[in-house]
A and B are shown apart, each in its own frame.
Chain A
Amino acid sequence: GAGVSQSPSNKVTEKGKDVELRCDPISGHTALYWYRQRLGQGLEFLIYFQGNSAPDKSGLPSDRFSAERTGESVSTLTIQRTQQEDSAVYLCASSLGRASGRAGSYNEQFFGPGTRLTVL
C-alpha cells in the first residue's frame, strides 16, 4: 500500500516568510509525528498527534512553529517568520498508534521522504 507522503520535497524561502509543510500518513495510522533533522544531526522530535487527543507539542522549539491535523488524516506543519536556523529536513512519520496493552509493533514508525527546507 501507499506509504507516508510529504510535500513539497524541497522548499526554498526567504527569511521572514511563512512556510507550510504537508504530510499524508499511511491510511489507518492514528499516530502522526513530526521531526526535524539538521544536517549531520539526529532526529529532533517536534509534535505528536494521536487520534482526537490533544497533541503533544512538547518538542516545538518556539511559538513560530505550529501544526494541525484533521482527524486521522493529513497534517500540516507551519513555520512563521522563518529564520535561517530553521533550515533542515522536516520528517513526518506515522504508526498504527500508541496505546497501553498494545504490542510494540503498534508503535513502529514509518517515515515519509521529508521536506528539505532552506531559508535564505
Chain B
Amino acid sequence: RKEVEQDPGPFNVPEGATVAFNCTYSNSASQSFFWYRQDCRKEPKLLMSVYSSGNEDGRFTAQLNRASQYISLLIRDSKLSDSATYLCVSMDSNYQLIWGAGTKLIIKP
C-alpha cells in the first residue's frame, strides 16, 4: 500500500463550481501536511500547509481528519487557472516527506 494515496483523476469541473479531493495517508504518526500544485511541465509550487486541523487561504480550504487519516482540499468558485495537478505531501515524525502521485484537475469553461 502506498503511504500517501490520491485519486489520479482527472476531475473535470465546470468553472465556478466547488471541487474537493482527498488524500489518504497510512502513517498515523504523520505530523504535518502540504498541498502543492503542479502545472504541466512546471515545477511544484507550495499551495498550502496544514499543521493542525486545517487551513484556509482565500478560495482554498484544507481539512485534516486524523481519525480517518485523510486530508482534503476544497476549491471554491473554481477558475480556469486552477487547472493543474495537486500533490499531497505528508511529513512523519522523522521529518520524512512522503509525496502522493497527484490528482489532476481540469476546469472547463
Contact = CB atoms under 8 A, between A and B. Distances in A.
Interface residues of B, number: 18
B63 interface: no
B34 interface: yes
Nearest to B52: A104
B31 A104 contact: yes
Given A91-B43, A108-B46, A109-B46, A45 B51 contact: no
Contacts, number: 43
A110 B101 CA distance: 18
Interface of B: 31-32, 34, 42-46, 49, 51, 87, 91, 95, 97, 99-102
Nearest 10 CB-CB pairings of A with B: A42-B101, A104-B32, A111-B43, A98-B95, A104-B51, A43-B99, A111-B44, A114-B43, A113-B43, A108-B46
Interface of A: 33, 41-43, 45, 91, 98-100, 103-105, 107-114
